[in-house]
Structure 1
Amino acid sequence: MNDIDQPLPPDELGHRLSEVFDLVGPLYRRATRKVEQAEPVEGVSAGVRAVLNLLRQNGPMTVPQMGRAQALSRQFVQRMVNDAAARGWVETVPNPAHQRSSLIRLTEEGRSTIAHVLGREHHLMRQVGGGLTDADVRTCVRVLTEMVRTFDHVDVD
């Protein structure tokens, strides 16, 4: 193993991960803008998109569960749920486990909407160049997963 394959000392790791962190926000905002510009008529904001995709991945959830999963305030998630509900993309259903905290679930229109948005995102992501390999992407996912896991203890509410 050469030096490039050895774990970095904490101080150096911190500096290198700051480079990654400094790219994540601008990348997310640019990608979101590109997707939204592709079809602005649909009107799916980044926040609503996050709610729809979370429900697509996990099935019905409460607003507090969604907030915890996305490290967002319950109030922000509630606003996004309200926006999605106004468009007919989600609906509220009784929660057998908790009377006062209803479950939010996708409607068929919501499923179709998030599938369409993800399709546009996939089309955008296909345009990424650089000859990236599966190993490159696996490493990137591993790094970002570790960063998310590290900051999971931060309570937004």
Structure 2
Amino acid sequence: MPDEMALLVADVYEAAGVLRRSGEAVAAAEGQTQARWQLLSVVSDSPRSVAQAARRLGISRQAAQRVANDLVHAELAAFRPNPDHRSSPLLALTSAGEDVLDRITARAAEAHEAFARGIPPEEVRAARALLHRLVERVRDHEDEGARARNAR
């Protein structure tokens, strides 16, 4: 009997790959990349430092910094003073960035609607709940491993 968890992990990787390609196409239709879209989205609710945005996205600070610099150069975002940390400015959307994000989000909503056609909403909710539990358990496992390494 195959290892069901290994098969689920393989399915998640496959889903991530096809969704990433779809996301790239959605972002490209507005002249953006998925990385730019993700960073615009992360700072859309409130300005964040690049380090905070990187943590939220699960990427390196350096990768987030490169994308942030691109967004600032394109005038889709701007660095603002950080009252809590002078050397770590906050990245905030400009009105042009808000407009681009709104257009990308609308395109993504259309794509999501097409993906979900024929799938009952309760199945989508159940899949999300399972993925949230899985992510939580993986994080707990990582935390336990880190604690064990630090205890040595």
TM range (shorter): 0.7 to 0.9
> How far off is 1:26 after superposition?
1.8
> How far off is 1:125 after superposition?
1.6
* 2:34 is the alignment partner of 1:26: no
Cα deviation 1:60-100 (Å, max 9, x = unaligned): 00000011111100000001101111111100111111111
Alignment of 1:44-59 (within 5 A): 44-56=32-44, 58-59=45-46
- Identify the structure with the greater helix proportion: 2
Instruction: Find the partner of 1:69 among 44, 56, 59.
Output: 56
Corresponding residue for residue 81 of structure 2:
94
Alignment of 1:1-157 (within 5 A): 12-36=3-27, 39=29, 42-56=30-44, 58-128=45-115, 131-152=118-139, 153=142
User: Relative to structure 1, is the Cα distance of residues 104 and 23 closer, same or farther in structure 2, using a 3 angstrom cutoff?
Assistant: same
Do the aligned residues in 1 keep the contact of 2:24 with 2:33 (CA within 8 Å)?
A: no
Task: Give unpaired runs (5+ residues) of structure 2.
Answer: 147-152
Q: Which range is displaced more, 62-71 or 141-150?
A: 141-150
Percent identity between matched residues is 23
Task: Give unpaired runs (5+ residues) of structure 1.
Answer: 1-10
Paired letter, 2:135: V
User: Relative to structure 1, is the Cα distance of residues 116 and 133 closer, same or farther in structure 2, using a 3 angstrom cutoff?
Assistant: same
> How far off is 1:127 after superposition?
1.4
Output the CA distance in 2 between the equivalents of 1:52 and 1:117: 10
TM-score by length of structure 2 reads 0.81
The total of aligned residue pairs comes to: 141
Output the CA distance in 1 between the equivalents of 2:27 and 2:84: 37
Q: Specify which structure has the bigger relative contact order, considering alpha-carbon pairs within 8 angstroms and separated by 6 or more residues.
A: 1
